[in-house]
Every structure is written in C-alpha cells, then in structure tokens.
Amino acid sequence: MSSRFKRMAPRAAAFAALTSAFLATAVAGLASAQAPAAKPAAAASAPAAAQPPASDALPVPPPPQIAGTAWVLMDAASGNILASHEPDMRVEPASITKVMTSYVIAAEMAGGKVKDTDQVMMTENAWRKGGAATDGSYSGFAVNQTAPLVEMEKGMVVQSGNDAAIALAEHVAGSEDAFAALMNQYAARIGLKNSHFMNPHGLSQENHYSTAHDLALLGRALIHDFPTAYSYNKIKELKVGPITQPNRNLLLWRDSSVDGIKTGHHSKAGYCLMASAQRGDQRLISVVMGSTSEAQRATDSQALLNWGFRFFETHKLYDAGKAIAKQKVWKGQSAEVQLGVAEPLLVTVQRGKYPQLKPSMDVPKTLVAPIKKGQAIGSVKVMLDGKVVAQRPLVALAAVEEGGFFKRLWDEFWMWWESE
C-alpha cells in the first residue's frame, strides 16, 4: 500500500462509517451530474477590456501656473490627484462650504428625515444674518415666509444665498450649531481628514476650515452619492420673486462640459472655485483656493481642466452587473457563481498608457454555498508601472442557494479528497 493511502486510511475509515448508510444512494443520484472539478486557482488574470484606438504616450508637461494659494486637480473616477499645490494646507472654504451643506441635506433626505416638499421658513435670524441687508450673497426669499425646501436649496446653490443656508440648517437640525455638528459627522464619513465646519454658509469664523484636497473629495462625494442635488449646481440663473440672479461660476457659460460646482469669496479666503467637467467617460474636479479675482479663478480652473483632459484619459474596463469571471461553488444548487463589479470600473491614466494596464483577480480558493447576491467575493485590481491604479470588490451577480442533502454530502467528500 502506498504511503499516501496509509496516511489517509484512518480518515477514510471514519468517513466510510459515517456515510455507509446513504453513500450508495448519493453516488447513484449524482454521479451522472457531478464529477470532481479541478481545484480553483486562488488568483487569476481578469479578462482585459477591448483595446481602444492607439494613442501616443506623450510625456506629461507641468500643469499650468495657478494664482491660487492652494489647488488640486482630481480624477473623479478614482479620487486620485493628477496635479496639486499645497493640497493639504488649511484654508477658509468661504461659500464652497455650501457644498457640504447640500451634502448633509441630501443625506438627511435620503434617510427620510426631511423631504424636498417641506416648507422651509426664512426666519428673521436667517434674514438678518444672511439676507439682503448684509454684505454677502442672499437668495431673495422674503422674511417670515416659507418656500419648498428644494427651491430654498436652489437659492443657496445658484445664488449662494447665505440666508437660505441658515434657513435650511434651522429646518434640518433646529439650529446652525446642531447643523454644523451634522456637517462634521458627514465630513468624517466621507473621509475629509483636515476639515472642520462651524456654519452652513462659509462666512469667516474661527475653527472653520478645510483643504483643497478635502474639498475635491467633497465634490466627488456629492456627484457620486447625490446626483440630483449636484444637478442644481449647473443652473445658470434663478428667479426668486422679482429678483433674478446669475450663478457666479463663469465656466458654466464658457465650457459646455462644465456642470458645477461652487464659487466662494470673502476677504480672508480670497476668490475660490470648485469646478467639475465631464467629457465622455472622463470627469475631472478642480479646486482653486485663494485666487486674486473672479476672472482669475475661472481662467485658472479652466486651464487645469483642459490640461487634465489633454494629457489623461479615462477608460471603462468593466460594466456594472456584467460577468467578468466565474468561480466554482461547493455544496450549492448551482455549481458556479458569476462575479462582477457593483459599479462601473473606470481607470484614468496618462494618455497612451492604456495598453500597459494589467488587471488581475484575487478570489478565495474555496467558495461554499449559500452565497448572497451582491456578496463581496475577492477583488479585481488594475496595475500600471507596478502601482495599483484601481481596485474594486468582486461581487456575486446572483445568489447560490444551498444544495440538497446528498449534494452537500457529495461535495463534502470531494472537498475532503482534494484537501490531501
């Protein structure tokens, strides 16, 4: 007898004793439908997407000269920074703060706490602190009167109304201080590591700060998580009563690919602009803080966006919900499960380097039913020049229910056999 069978004899005897009453029935019922499969590999190469037309891999020149004290150009698909200057320096965010306010309102709405049809009161407190009698931007809603939440929010977003921001904060949280606490909780959830908010409008206040990097992450989160709320940012002008006011983002008139996001200005912050544009599958986000004028912030933001679109390209590698691999499943009603990504996998790289991308998968060696639809099973990652440029969970595209008694028994036998 071979050494392998001598080593396995005690285990085999125990297993035979356990299954002798029904193994014959199991074999008869399943032999025709089930055969031992090769052990699945722990890692496999993910199928490559179709190759796009070839393009020259040009060296990337330095980004344009920017007048701001801090700035960032971010790829929206991955969150990677393509270029920056002082990205983590604390700055006063001015009215770009209102993007955080929009995020909180949208999140609370998604949680059922408020509705877009809620009637929001323009309180005397909101009117006195941020209305027409102040030096800042105002919405034009009448004091001690109500307006639907969605209209009040547009007044905050398009016209940068400080009064609307205060009224919304009071409606959502009861007070500005309580709303600021919500802002900081959501900021932490988004991953803003160097931001702290004291008010919903962005007027200068001690301990109210952010960074160009954090603000770009905030814009990315609003675009991804709450596209309806984000869409208000591309409205070019808004009329409230007899007053019509334009959006201060000049790029909305200059570049049809720009659809947001927010301007900001006060004496300590300088002129600021968070902008975003989409061309094809590629979306970029620019943040320019502390610029010298309204015109300069727009010119510099446009230059950053154009530079990014010229020298970087975005490709969709995998569509959401489509199988990119399959894996054997033990003890299930189905013998295998199809794997894919829950959201489209987009990768932004230097123009011309797409053919050098190297996708791969990492999946568990053994999968055992039951498996839920959407359950994370391993990951797919994309490498370029030895670095990970994108990584996403692989998920089950369909559920695999647990198999019957004999199916589970049969698979248990083969799992035991292959474990030796």
Catalytic residues: 95, 98, 160
Single out the residue of 353, 357, 358, 346 nearest to residue 318, CA to CA.
346
Cα separation, 290 vs 68, in Å, equals 5
Query: What percent of the chain is helix, strand and coil (3-state, nearest 5)?
Result: 35, 25, 40
Strand, helix or coil at 290? Answer: strand
CA distances from 306 to 73, 87, 146, 189, 376 (A): 11, 19, 42, 31, 37
Q: How far apart are CA 399 and CA 369, in angstroms?
A: 9
Other beta carbons within 10 angstroms of residue 327's beta carbon come to 22
Find, among 213, 195, 179, 197, the residue nearest to 82 by Cα.
213
Which long-range CB contacts under 8 A does 256-260 form with residues at least 24 apart? 258/234, 258/305, 259/230, 259/231, 259/233, 259/234, 260/219, 260/223, 260/230, 260/233, 260/234
Question: How far is CA 277 from each of CA 254, 257, 312, 325, 401, rounded to the nearest angstrom?
Answer: 12, 5, 14, 33, 44
Host H or E run for residue 243: strand 243-246
C-alpha dist (Å) from residue 86 to 79, 90, 97, 120, 153 = 17, 9, 19, 39, 31
Q: Name the 3-class secondary structure at 140.
A: coil
